[in-house]
Amino acid sequence: MFKQSLIVLALAATLAACGASKEAGSDATVVAATQPTLHYPTARTVEQVDDFHGTKVSDPYRWMENLDDPELQPWIAAENQLVADFISDVPNREQLKTRMTALWDYERFGTPEVHGGKYFFSRNDGLQNQSPVYVQDTLDGEPRLLIDPNTLSADGTIALSESAVSPDGKLYAYSLSDGGSDWRTIKVRNVETGKDLDDEIRWAKFTNIAWTQDSGGIFYSRFDAPEGEDPLKAVNKNQKLFLHTIGKPQADDTLVYERPDQPDWGFSATVSDDGAYLIINGSQGTDVRNRVFYKDLAKADGKVVALIEDLVAAYDFVGNDGSVLYFLSDDGAERNRLLAIDTAHPGKDHWQTVIAENDALLLQVSHVHGQFIANYLRDARSEVKMFDAAGKELRSIALPGLGTANGFEGAVEDNETFFAFGSWAVPDSVYRLDATTGETTLFKAPSVKFDVNAYETTQVFYPSKDGTKVPMFITAKKGFVRDGNNPTILYGYGGFNIAVTPKFSPAIIQWLDMGGVYAVANLRGGSEYGRPWHEAGMKTNKQNVFDDFAAGAEYLIADKVTQPAKLAISGRSNGGLLVGATLLQRPELFGAALPAVGVLDMLRFREFTIGWAWESDYGTVKDATEFKAIHAYSPLHNIKPGAKYPPTLVTTAERDDRVFPAHSFKFAAAMQAANPGGNPALIRIETRAGHGAGKPTTKIIEEYADIYAFLAKTLHIEIR
């Protein structure tokens, strides 16, 4: 909850479960199979041609990149109205929203962290737009409200983002995102009084918050304030690491580290539990590899020292024992190992392996009670083990089933930690882990308005185009029949070394109660099987990801789970690229496509906000070979006039400063122009929202209600 990594800089794999619901007791209605003739809003074109290594590429909708263009807002309004008109005649549409609201209305909890003997956790009563944070003085004490972000804006669009509690448990530092933007404002609250101090830090972005051991200051990362450009569009370079002293103005903050000679480098800070070291993670874009620097905090004039300068592997700081620093790393271990590096003898020939690589991916290691808690992924599902300080395995932690465990935060002296466990159709329950015995006990469990035992998840493995076996989770009501008629959503991501693991959403239950099937393919490009799995889906290998996705669809059809007319594909962000590319390459496989906040103009992603950072995964158009591979699949540039594409609903948000919304604007306009009399190609554009994080509950429900109505109409689904 409180410790954040710079994975936020990447295209985060946000779950996008979509479908239609069944309202108990209502009459069955079949949506008519005919689609109305659509009259798309006019989108002017311009004469814009770019030259890439001798290849001329037209960009007729370049004007849409200017959010202040006077024609853009009328176009957005007209497109949103077109979506509203298209779904307005879907029978029982209001019941969809009513049922979904009921499913979302359940109490849920974040994973607690312990600081200064106090327990801090988030709790949502069900339909709150944002989750308030509570604190309690003992494990079984009465929780009291610390901060309610719902009071910060009338529409719930100001959200809590990064946060950290001071070591003494007296101060709570937190950042706010306004309307979904990645820009942050950091504030500090007194835990006892619940009042904010005067401290305010602006222009923080892609940052975490790290307290000094004496609770007197915080380390954070920021960029210079954009000048003369829209902050939601301006390119972000030259990140700097600062120390803010509590009680002083931001102007007095101390610059800890910067590299003006390396504008693409980013920095995040961690303070060791004993307060002796400041560990600086040196990132370069979204490359999973990083550099490591450190500073001896006991020395007033201590300099930042380079521990690992070469960009050769990933090193994630876990903890320390005196001068020995522990790192989770893929250096010499494709599926990761735990390393010990002594700052007194930092040479690589002195490094020691504490936990060796094995056949499962070592995803996370925590240093609690002088022991190591290792969270593994085996075929994209969690396994957890405990090791002693020397790396000897002590025990396995029993988990409730096939799903995802996350959390396990804590300090080296703590006797307990907490974790959450859930799956596709099972919401997270929170457990306490006694670090002295390995015993787990239930801390908080949600009470939901459906029978979690009515559903089942199975895992299958299917061959991709080149024979690679790809895992896929299939979730449905128990006893569903493979007759080829099940409405099915196939979700995927496939990129940035991000694993897609079981994660609950009320929207999935909505779909399953309709009699639908929810399938999730673990495509190459993710981290499910370590570095080789990731590299097999990056840069010039990116086509493998689209092949994996299409092969997943072919498996579902061949296994009679569904048929093309009943199959929708869904993905967000990098997954939006996945959907866009695959629907163009294999349109015959799908009955609907839902590319959300997608990277759809692959030739210009580097021109906006943090897009340049993604070249570590996508490659760069500056390189002729990589340009050729990118151009071959870039969704915007592979739309064929007159081609029969499946009904498509693009979704984006005006304040998305992760994937600039012009990606979606241009793609939708081009799809509409390519076949104005064909299947619908619509775009829904949210206002006062960004890439997805922090979106208010009301907006989430409204968006899904529209998506479900679109699927009901295009897949011809019975709504009851």
Active site residues: 573, 691
Angle at 134 between CA 131 and CA 137, to 5 degrees: 165
Phi first, then psi, for residue 325 (nearest 5°) are -105, 135
In a 10 Å sphere around its CB, with 0-12 CB exposed, 13-18 middle and 19+ buried, how is residue 120 labelled? buried
Q: How far apart are CA 28 and CA 20, in angstroms?
A: 13
Tokens of 24: 């108990």
Local structure of 516: helix, strand or coil:
coil
Asked if 490 and 468 count as a contact pair (C-beta separation under 8 A), the reply is no
Transcribe 5-38 into DSSP letters: -GGGGS-------------TTPPPEEPPS--PPP
The 3-state secondary structure of 585-637, one letter per residue: HCHHHCCEEEEECCCCCCCCHHHCCCHHHHHHHHCCCCCHHHHHHHHHHCHHH
Number of continuous H segments (helices) and E segments (strands) in the chain: 10, 41
The 3-state secondary structure of 443-495, one letter per residue: EECCCCCCCHHHEEEEEEEEECCCCCEEEEEEEEECCCCCCCCCCEEEECCCC
Q: How far apart are CA 512 and CA 473, in angstroms?
A: 14
Asked if 3 and 406 count as a contact pair (C-beta separation under 8 A), the reply is no
Q: Which residues pair with 649 in a beta bridge?
A: 682
Q: How far apart are CA 182 and CA 9, in angstroms?
A: 9
Q: How far apart are CA 579 and CA 572, in angstroms?
A: 8
Which position has the token pair 């932690």?
Answer: 397
